[in-house]
Amino acid sequence: MRTRPAFTLIELLVVIAIIAVLIGLLLPAVQKVREAANRMSCQNNLKQIAIACTSYEGAHGRYPASNNFAPPLQGWVPSILPQLEQENVRNIYVVAANWYDPANDAARNAQVKTFLCPSARSGRVGDCAVPGVAGSPFTGAAWDYSNVAVVSKPALAYLGYPNPGDDYESVWRGVMSSRGSTVAQITDGLSNTLLLVEDAGRPEYWVKGKLVTSAEPPAFASGGPGRVRGGLWADHEKGFGIEGTGPDGLTSPGECAINCNNAFEVYAFHRGGANAAMADGSVRFLREGMNIRTLAALATRGAGEVIPNE
């Protein structure tokens, strides 16, 4: 009888070991490619939203206002849905009602892909409190972006401007402040002024790449232990003030400007920084090592700072 040749056990183990080594070498490359694709997709999202805001400015003479506290309570995001090819959501959104009214349940819970960074965890639901209204806080579909409304007064004091006075409204505001801005008011230049940034992962509380479930975010951003309030696209309170944090990402203001925490700070799940859209519609990548002074300078529309190359 002729014996048929076959692999020995040792040969099989060697082949399996070689395959394991090859997979180990391949996985980091695959992860890098995936992250590069996610970062590019995120940049495209910001680009689309920024262009939609620019179209709004062309039609109304000013950029959308960050917050709205006059009834009916509405945010600025629903007004740009048609420019994002989201007419189906805009058509069921009732502008005569508050964003949290039952009439807007279906609209505010609609997931819009353009509002979500693919590097952040999916399936999140944001919430926003409306004082004095039964049923508050109200929930809705999450989003991972935000407009920069202002440089906060605590941050200005930290940076050496303890008494901004009357200049606070005219100088230290961002493009989409409480009243919006005209192009003429953006004297720092459209390409030098932030419009939108990543504030990803909300309502989950993330600090320097770690999910925090037990500690509460800072009081102004806290929705309870491990939860950042806001983070939904439909609510009437948009934007945040640039502050920065301490080295641990838990105290503010401070020198840490990018990816410190996502409690109303610039935060992303991209390696080395976060994406941001400028008022001219361009998109930049803000490096984690950026100085808080540089970030504050980019946030203001008319403070006249010289922005260093970082």
Residue 122 neighbours by CB distance under 10 Å: 8
Residues 6+ apart with CB under 8 A from 258: 266, 267, 268, 273, 274, 286, 287, 288, 289, 290, 295
For 4-17, what is each residue's pLDDT tens digit? 566 677 777 888 88
Contact 87, 81 (CB under 8 A): yes
Confidence of residue 233 (pLDDT cuts 50, 70, 90): very high
- Distances 103 to 6, 76, 94, 97 between C-alpha atoms, Å: 71, 18, 7, 7
Among 96, 142, 147, smallest CA distance to 234 is for 142
For 100-146, what is each residue's pLDDT tens digit? 999 999 999 999 999 999 999 988 999 998 989 999 999 999 999 99
Strands (E), the chain: 125-128, 138-141, 145-151, 194-198, 205-207, 210-212, 240-242, 273-278, 283-287
Q: What is the pLDDT of residue 172?
A: 84
From CA 238, how far away is CA 146, in angstroms rounded? 7
- Mean residue pLDDT across the chain: 90
Q: What is the pLDDT of residue 298?
A: 94
Task: Label residue 123 exposed, middle or buried (CB < 10 Å: 0-12, 13-18, 19+).
Answer: exposed
Tokens 């301490």 correspond to: 246
Q: How large is the average pLDDT for residues 166-188?
A: 84
User: For residue 281, is pLDDT > 90?
Assistant: yes
Q: What is the pLDDT of residue 5?
A: 64
User: For residue 268, is pLDDT > 80?
Assistant: yes
Q: What is the pLDDT of residue 4?
A: 59
Percent of the chain residues topping a pLDDT of 90: 68
Confidence of residue 261 (pLDDT cuts 50, 70, 90): very high
- Distances 139 to 82, 230, 287 between C-alpha atoms, Å: 23, 9, 32
User: For residue 199, is pLDDT > 90?
Assistant: yes
Query: Which helix (H) or strand (E) covers residue 43, if one does?
Result: helix 9-60
Residues 6+ apart with CB under 8 A from 62: 180, 181, 182
Residue, of 3 and 274, whose pLDDT is higher: 274
- Distances 42 to 17, 135, 148, 209, 308 between C-alpha atoms, Å: 38, 33, 17, 18, 25
Q: What is the pLDDT of residue 2?
A: 59
From CA 131, how far away is CA 299, in angstroms rounded? 29
Tokens 């008011």 correspond to: 185
Question: At residue 203, what are phi and psi to the nearest 5 degrees?
Answer: -85, 0
Percent of the chain residues topping a pLDDT of 70: 92
From CA 75, how far away is CA 81, in angstroms rounded? 12
Task: Label residue 241 exposed, middle or buried (CB < 10 Å: 0-12, 13-18, 19+).
Answer: buried
From CA 90, how far away is CA 290, in angstroms rounded? 37
Residue, of 211 and 9, whose pLDDT is higher: 211
From CA 108, how far away is CA 43, in angstroms rounded? 24
